Structure 1
C-alpha cells in the first residue's frame, strides 16, 4: 500500500507546531482573544510608566541637553508585567554636572508606589559598566524616556556598536553564563515548578537570542521565536496576577487557575501549552548557539565565500557548514525514505538537521509505503542509536511535524506530563532520553535494533485510560509490523513493551533468590535473547527517569535475578543466519588468484559483492581494499561456499557510494594481498569512547568459534579485526557486520584451517588479540 505517485503532504512551516495547539475558540470568547488583551495591557502599563517618568523628570527641572532618562531591559522593550520593576538609568555627558537631580528625580517615582531599579552614570561610566554582561544585555534595549533624545540615541548606538565589535569575545562568556543559569533553574519544559523567565527555554533565553541577533554574526530571530516569546509573556503576566507579587514560578496549584486565565481546557492543557513554549524556545536557542559556534570556529579562509560548500555524504544528502541539507538536484517526491535518512545522517554526525530542509522534506516527500522499505527501517535504527546527536534532531523533527509522518502515534504522548514526580521529563522527552540511554547499551544485546525500537515505543500507551503497558502492547505490534519487521520481531517488541516494568518490579518487590521469582519472570521471557533485551531496556528506562531510579542497589538486585533466569534458561540462543548461494563466475574458477567484484547500486548506496577462491586472509584483504579507497562500510556478510570444484569465499558489503568502479576495487584488493597497498591507519580510540567488548559465545555454534565484537565505529575497524584473526592463522567461515549509529556490532564465525573448531585456549587467544588491537 503506497501513496499516489507525486502526492505531497501539507504541513505547517517550521515553527507552527505544538505551541499553537490550543482548543478552538467559541463564539462566546472575547473577540480580541486573551493574547491580544494581555499585550494591550502590557502596552498600557508601559505607557503609564512612561508618563510617570516624564512627569518626574519635568518636576525635577532636568536639563534639556546633556542628560537623559532611559528605560532598559524589559521596560526598555515596553514589556512590563503586572509587578515588574521600572528599570531606568539617568545618563549624562561627562562634562555635565547633575547636582541634586538624581535625588529629586527618584522621590516622585518612589512616592508613586512603583518598584524602581535605578542608577546614575556618565557616558564613560556606562561604557565601563557594560563590561558586565547583564548590564550590556539590558542596554541593548535602551529606550528614551525624557531629557536629551540625542544623548539617548548616542547611548544606544554606542552600546550596539560595542556589542557588535566585541561579539566574538563576549558571546562565549554569554554562553557560559547561560549554561550556568540552566544548571540552576532546569528546563521550563520539564521542571516541576518551572520559572518562565530564568529556566532554559524561558524569557531570559529569548532575550539572549535577541542579543545574538544584535551581534550580526547569526540570524537568530524567527517568527516562531517571536510568537513563542509573546505567548510566554502572556503566561508570565497571568502568573504574576495569580501570585499577587513579582514571581515567575508556576506552583503546582496554579495550573488550573492559569488554564482559565489563558482560555485553555484544563490544568493539563495549561501544562502542555507552557511547556511547549519552553521547549520551542529552548530548541531554537540550542540551534542558534550551534550556528554561533560554527561561525566562531570558521577559519579566515572561509569567511569570503558567498555560498557554503556542499559535501555529499549520502545519496541525495549533503553537509553544509555543519548542517545536513539536500544535495543539489535532489527531488524529495522521488524518495519517501529521504526524511529519515537525512535525520539519521544529522544525528549520527551530531550535526544540525537544517530546519528549512526538514520542513521541505515533510511537505514534499511521499508517504512511506507499508511495510516500510529496508532503507527507512535502517535509517530509523541509526537515528535512535546516534547517542547525543539524537535529541536536537528529534526536536527539529517534532517542531516541523516530521515525526507524525512516520509515527503518528507520537501525538498521544507529545508533551504529556508524567503522573509520577520521580520523572524529570515529560513522557515524550523521557522516551527520547530512553533511546539515547539504550544507544549506549546496544553492545550487550544480540538484537540492538529491537532494543532501540522497544525503547522508542515502551511508553507509547500512555495517555490512554488503561495501564500504559497493556495499552502499548498492541500499538507497538502494529507500529513494528508497519515498519517492516518480521512477525516474530513484532512479537518480541510488543512483549518488551508489555513487560518493560516487570524485571524492576520483581527484583525490588520480591526475593530475587527465590525460585518462584525466577519462574514468574520466565513465564514472560522465553529465551536468553529476550532476557538480554529486557535487562537493557529496564536500565535505559530507569536511567532516563532520574538518578534515583537507577541506583547500584537496584542494579544489583536486577542483575541477581537476571543471572538466575539466565541459568534457568540454559544454553544461549544461536544467531547463525542462513546465507544464500551465489553463482561463482567462470573467471574465478579458471584463473588462480582471480577476484570477481560486482557493484549493485540501490536507493541508498550500493552492494559490493566479492568472490574468490577461499583462503586465510581473503576477507581481511577485501576489507583492506575498501579501507584503502576510504569507503565506509555500513554492513557486511561473508560466507564460504563449497562445490565440486573448490571452496569459494563470498562477501557482500553495503556501502553508501553507488559510483564505485569494480576495476578499481579489484585492483586495491590485489595490491593489499600483495602487500603493496599502503593502508590508512585506523584512528586511535578517543578518551571518551567506551572500551571495546569482545566476547566468545561457546554455545552459539558447534562448528565454529563465535566472536561478538562491539566497539565504536571507526574507519578500518573491520580490516583490523580480520587481519588480527588472519595473523593467528584463523579463517572466517561467516561474518555479520553492522553499524548502528556510532556503534559497530560484528559477529564472526571463526575456524581453524580445514574447518576445525578452535580449542578454548585458541578462542581465548583470539579474543585477547582482537581486544588488544581495538584498544591500541
Structure 2
C-alpha cells in the first residue's frame, strides 16, 4: 500500500477527524442541508493537503516519489470520505442486495500512485450487474461531490462482465485495468474482478500485449521526435520519459504477474542495480513533472525553455564555471533519460529471449539447437554477439572496446547480458586501457566503421564505455546548450554527425549532398576526418572558446588514437576552424574578392578545404531537423567553389574585367531574343553589380528594369520563387532615396516574410535595384499566388507611405515567441579589414519582430549606405551583417563615428517599445 511510503500522513490529511466532523454535520442538519459545509470542509482539506505536499517538495525537491504518492494518498482519503458519507447519509440502505455492491478503483497514473499535482483523477466504478438503482445513485452523488471540489475526474462505470469484455478488445482499457488499485468499497468484488482479469483476459495474450505495447511506444516516440535528447523534452511521453518506464512495468507485470516494479528483479528482468537505477530515474522524472505542474498551475508535461530555468532553480541547481544552472539541471535530466533508454533495451531484449526460448521448446524445431559460432572468442548466435563468460572483460578490459568494434564490423547486435556486463565492467577502463595501442586502434576502426558506426557508438555510449574510454567525451555526455538552435545534447549531436558522415561516404545522401559525396573519396585520411567530427564540440561547457580548447584536446588525443603528426595537425586545425566555413558563407559577401582571399589565407590547402567542407555539412545538418536547407547548401557550395579555384590555380582564374565580360556573354545567351538589353540596359550598372549577382538574377533584373523604364513606372516589384536557393527572389526598382532599404525591409516583414539576403544597387541614372531573398518563418519560400500578391502589396504600401510602418510592425508578434525565454545581450562589431571597399558591421541580438527593419533604419539615421545585408539566425539569436559606406562611398573609420553608430544599433536591437512615430518623409 502507498501509505507505507508516506511519513506523517495526518499532516497531509486526517481522515478520521474529517469523518467525525462530516458525521456531526450530517446528523445535525441532515445530508442535504449540510452539503455546502461538507464540500467546504473537503475543499479546505484538499488545499491544506496540497500545501503540505508542496512544502515537502520544496524542502526535498528531488523526492518525486514522495510527492506523487502524497497526492495519491490525499485523493484516496477524500474519495473514501465521500463514499462513506454518501452510503451512510445520502443513500443509506439497511440491508443491501447482492446487486447493491460497489468497488472503486484508481486507474492510470492514479492507479500507480503516481499522481502529479494537476493530474486527472482517473477512477473506475465496478458493479456486479447493470442498472442497480442504488449503485447509480451513489456513483452520481460521488461524482457531483468530486466536481464540486474542482477535481478533473476521468471516470467509467461498468459491470465486471463489461469491464472484462472491453479489456479484451481495447488495449487502453486493458492497461488501465492492469495497473488498477483498490481505493474503497466492496473488496470482494475487486478481488473477483482481478482474478477473472488474469484468467480470462491476460492468459494466452502475453505475446499480443507485448507487440501492441511496443507498437504503441514506437508511434509515441515518432510523434515526440524519436530522440531522448531533444532540448525541450516531454517528461511524460517523450523518449526516455516516464511512459517508457511505465511500459517496462506493464510488460513485466502482464507477462510475469508482478505486483510492484521491485519484483522485476525476482523474475530476472532487471538486476538489483538496474532496479535502483529504475527507481532513481523514475523519482527524478516524477519530481521534475511535479515542479512543472506547480509552476504552471496545470497538467504540463513539456519541459520548455522557460520552465527549465524555473525548475532548475526550484531543484537547487547553481551556476558553475562554463555551465549555467539550467544546463547542469538538463544534463542531469538527460543522464536519467539515457539510463531509461539503456534499461529499456536490456529489458526488452530479455523478454524477446524468453519468448524465443518458449518457441524453441514448443515449435516444429523443439529439441533442435543451432550451434553458436565463435568470433575471436565471442559467441555469435541469432545475429547477436555475446561474451563467453562473466569474467570475460575482467580478464582483458580492452575487450570492452573490441566487442563494439566487432559488432560494427560484422553488423551484429550485442546480447543484453553482455551489455549488462559491459555496463558493470566499464569501471575497469583506466589509464592503462586508454593508453593501450590495440584499444585505440580498435576504437578508431569502430569510429570510422564501414557499416553503422552511429548505432554502435550509441550502444557504447549507453553502456558507459564511450565516456570512460574518452573522458573528454564523457564530460559532454547528456550536456545541452540552453538555446533554440541546438535540438540535441552535445553527445547526441556528435554521434548523429558521425552517422551522417558515414551515410555520405556510402552514397546514401547523394541527392542532398552531391558535392560532399564526391569529395569524401578524395581526402587523404578518412580516419582523421572521423576523429575531427568526434572532437569538434568536445570542449563545450568548459568556460572558454570551445574551438580553441577543442584543438588542444585534439593535440592530446590524436597521438593516443594512433594518428600521425600530419593527421593530428589536420584534426586540430579542423576543430579550431570548424565554424569558419559556415560563418564566412552565411555572414560575409561571397562576391567580395577580399572574403575569398581571407578565407583561403586561413585554409591554405585543398586537403583542408575538402575536410572542412565535409565537417561543416555534417555539423550543420546534425544540429536538428530543418537546419540544413537549400540556401545554406548554395552558400557553402559557392564558397567552396571560389576557394577551390583560388587554391588550385594560385590566383582567381579571371580578373574583374574578364569576369564581367563573361557574365554579360552568359546573360545574353540566356536572354535569347531579348539579349539586346544587356548592352542597352546593362551599361546602367557598374562592375560591382555584375560581379555580385548570379547570371539568372541579372537576366531577370535587366528585363524588369527595361520594362519599368519604358512604361515610366516609378515603382516596379517582381516576386518569383527561386528554386536554386530555396527562397523567393524579390526585386524592387524605385527612385533611389535615403531610407529605401529599411522601408522595403518593413514591407517584407509586414507580409510575414523573413529576409535572408539582400543586395542593394544603384544605376548610373539614379534608380535603385534591390534584390532580396525571402522565406516564411519556417524557412520555406513564398510560392502561392496569394502569398506573392500579399508580398508585393505590402512593399508597395510601405514605399508609398500608405501605412505607418513602426506601429504596424510592433503589433506583429515574433513567430517563434519562445525566444523570450532567453537573454541575448545585443552586440555590435565593426571590421574594416574584411572588405577592401566596405566597412562590415555585424549585429548580434535576440531575434524579434522586424529586427532587420529597425537595424536598417538605424543605419539610415546614421547616414550610412548599405550595399548588402546577410541575415543569419541561430534559434533565438539573430546575426545580421551589413556592408556599408558613408555618404561619400568611403569606409567608416573615425572612432567617434563608429561609437555613435554602435549606440544607434544597440538601441534598435534592444528597443522594446511597441510603437514610435514614423519620421516625416
TM-score normalised over the length of structure 2: 0.54
Match of 1:121 among 136, 139, 158: 158
Check 1:365–1:307 CA distance in 2 against 1; reply closer, same or farther (3 A cut).
farther
Match of 1:529 among 607, 610, 618: 607
Q: Is the 8 A contact 1:513 1:564 kept in 2?
A: no
Match of 2:281 among 221, 228, 231: 228
1:48 counterpart = 2:48: no
Structure 2 CA distance for aligned equivalents of residues 331 and 43 of structure 1: 43
Structure 2 gaps, min length 5: 1-54, 88-92, 257-266, 319-324, 507-519, 651-921
Q: Is the 8 A contact 1:203 1:229 kept in 2?
A: yes
Check 1:570–1:335 CA distance in 2 against 1; reply closer, same or farther (3 A cut).
farther
Match of 1:538 among 609, 616, 641: 616
Question: Which residue number corresponds to residue 30 of structure 2?
Answer: none
Check 1:90–1:306 CA distance in 2 against 1; reply closer, same or farther (3 A cut).
farther
1:282 counterpart = 2:308: no
Question: Which residue number corresponds to residue 356 of structure 1?
Answer: 420
Match of 1:507 among 585, 593, 609: 585
Question: Which residue number corresponds to residue 196 of structure 1?
Answer: 235
1:240 is displaced (CA, Å) by 1.0
Q: Deviations over 1:360-393 (max 9, x none)?
A: 44244664457542453244332453665634x4
Q: Is the 8 A contact 1:442 1:451 kept in 2?
A: no
Q: Deviations over 1:581-629 (max 9, x none)?
A: xxxxxxxxxxxxxxxxxxxxxxxxxxxxxxxxxxxxxxxxxxxxxxxxx
Q: Secondary structure at the match of 1:440?
A: helix
Q: Deviations over 1:301-347 (max 9, x none)?
A: 36699999773453233335554321248743453421111122334
1:137 counterpart = 2:175: yes
Check 1:167–1:331 CA distance in 2 against 1; reply closer, same or farther (3 A cut).
closer
Q: Is the 8 A contact 1:525 1:531 kept in 2?
A: yes
1:568 is displaced (CA, Å) by 3.9
1:463 is displaced (CA, Å) by 0.9
1:430 is displaced (CA, Å) by 0.6
Structure 1 CA distance for aligned equivalents of residues 242 and 120 of structure 2: 16
Match of 1:106 among 143, 163, 173: 143
1:170 is displaced (CA, Å) by 3.1
Q: Secondary structure at the match of 2:480?
A: coil
Check 1:114–1:30 CA distance in 2 against 1; reply closer, same or farther (3 A cut).
closer
Q: Is the 8 A contact 1:190 1:425 kept in 2?
A: yes
Structure 2 CA distance for aligned equivalents of residues 193 and 71 of structure 1: 31
Structure 1 CA distance for aligned equivalents of residues 313 and 164 of structure 2: 46
Structure 2 CA distance for aligned equivalents of residues 123 and 255 of structure 1: 45
* Mapping 1:176-187, distance limit 5 Å: 176-186=215-225
Structure 2 CA distance for aligned equivalents of residues 457 and 306 of structure 1: 51
1:106 is displaced (CA, Å) by 1.9
CA RMSD of aligned residues (A): 3.4
Q: Secondary structure at the match of 1:524?
A: helix
Higher helix share: 2
* Mapping 1:13-162, distance limit 5 Å: 34=60, 38-61=64-87, 66-94=101-129, 97=132, 98-130=135-167, 131-161=169-199, 162=201
Moved more, 531-540 or 312-321: 312-321
Match of 2:329 among 270, 292, 296: 270
Q: Deviations over 1:105-155 (max 9, x none)?
A: 322222333322111011222123322222222211111122221221232
Match of 1:410 among 473, 476, 482: 473
Q: Deviations over 1:200-221 (max 9, x none)?
A: 2221222111112123289655
Structure 2 CA distance for aligned equivalents of residues 307 and 462 of structure 1: 54
Moved more, 69-78 or 358-367: 358-367
Q: Secondary structure at the match of 1:318?
A: strand
Question: Which residue number corresponds to residue 701 of structure 2?
Answer: none
1:457 is displaced (CA, Å) by 0.5
Structure 2 CA distance for aligned equivalents of residues 530 and 474 of structure 1: 18
1:318 counterpart = 2:356: no
Q: Deviations over 1:646-689 (max 9, x none)?
A: xxxxxxxxxxxxxxxxxxxxxxxxxxxxxxxxxxxxxxxxxxxx
Check 1:52–1:306 CA distance in 2 against 1; reply closer, same or farther (3 A cut).
farther
* Mapping 1:319-338, distance limit 5 Å: 319-328=380-389, 331-338=392-399
Structure 1 gaps, min length 5: 1-28, 573-776
Match of 2:562 among 480, 484, 509: 484
Q: Is the 8 A contact 1:332 1:365 kept in 2?
A: no
Check 1:422–1:339 CA distance in 2 against 1; reply closer, same or farther (3 A cut).
same
Q: Secondary structure at the match of 2:157?
A: strand
Match of 2:597 among 491, 515, 519: 519
Q: Is the 8 A contact 1:350 1:388 kept in 2?
A: no
1:472 is displaced (CA, Å) by 0.8
Q: Secondary structure at the match of 2:113?
A: coil
Q: Deviations over 1:13-59 (max 9, x none)?
A: xxxxxxxxxxxxxxxx9999726755334333322322222233333
Structure 2 CA distance for aligned equivalents of residues 140 and 465 of structure 1: 50
Check 1:297–1:524 CA distance in 2 against 1; reply closer, same or farther (3 A cut).
farther
Question: Which residue number corresponds to residue 690 of structure 1?
Answer: none
Structure 1 CA distance for aligned equivalents of residues 310 and 488 of structure 2: 23
Structure 1 CA distance for aligned equivalents of residues 645 and 388 of structure 2: 53
Question: Which residue number corresponds to residue 306 of structure 2?
Answer: 253
Match of 1:170 among 188, 196, 209: 209
Aligned length: 543
Q: Deviations over 1:690-737 (max 9, x none)?
A: xxxxxxxxxxxxxxxxxxxxxxxxxxxxxxxxxxxxxxxxxxxxxxxx
Question: Which residue number corresponds to residue 699 of structure 1?
Answer: none
Q: Secondary structure at the match of 1:319?
A: strand
Q: Secondary structure at the match of 1:144?
A: strand
Q: Deviations over 1:241-278 (max 9, x none)?
A: 11122222333223333223323323222222223222
Q: Secondary structure at the match of 2:116?
A: coil
Check 1:50–1:275 CA distance in 2 against 1; reply closer, same or farther (3 A cut).
same
Question: Which residue number corresponds to residue 660 of structure 1?
Answer: none
Greater RCO (Cα-Cα under 8 Å, separation 6 or more)? 1
Q: Secondary structure at the match of 2:622?
A: helix
Q: Secondary structure at the match of 1:495?
A: helix
Structure 2 CA distance for aligned equivalents of residues 248 and 195 of structure 1: 6
Q: Is the 8 A contact 1:386 1:439 kept in 2?
A: yes
Highest Rg: 1 or 2? 2
Check 1:425–1:38 CA distance in 2 against 1; reply closer, same or farther (3 A cut).
closer
1:85 is displaced (CA, Å) by 2.0
Structure 1 CA distance for aligned equivalents of residues 444 and 421 of structure 2: 18
Structure 2 CA distance for aligned equivalents of residues 122 and 563 of structure 1: 74
TM-score normalised over the length of structure 1: 0.63
Q: Is the 8 A contact 2:434 2:440 kept in 1?
A: no
* Mapping 1:597-636, distance limit 5 Å: none
Q: Is the 8 A contact 1:387 1:440 kept in 2?
A: no
Check 1:515–1:219 CA distance in 2 against 1; reply closer, same or farther (3 A cut).
farther
Structure 1 CA distance for aligned equivalents of residues 283 and 553 of structure 2: 38
1:376 counterpart = 2:440: yes
Structure 1 CA distance for aligned equivalents of residues 614 and 63 of structure 2: 52
1:468 is displaced (CA, Å) by 1.4
Q: Secondary structure at the match of 1:441?
A: helix
Check 1:158–1:496 CA distance in 2 against 1; reply closer, same or farther (3 A cut).
farther
Check 1:559–1:41 CA distance in 2 against 1; reply closer, same or farther (3 A cut).
closer
Question: Which residue number corresponds to residue 240 of structure 1?
Answer: 293
Q: Is the 8 A contact 1:188 1:196 kept in 2?
A: no
Match of 2:246 among 182, 185, 207: 207
Question: Which residue number corresponds to residue 359 of structure 2?
Answer: 300
Q: Is the 8 A contact 1:384 1:436 kept in 2?
A: no
1:424 counterpart = 2:487: yes
Check 1:524–1:313 CA distance in 2 against 1; reply closer, same or farther (3 A cut).
farther
Structure 2 CA distance for aligned equivalents of residues 306 and 112 of structure 1: 63
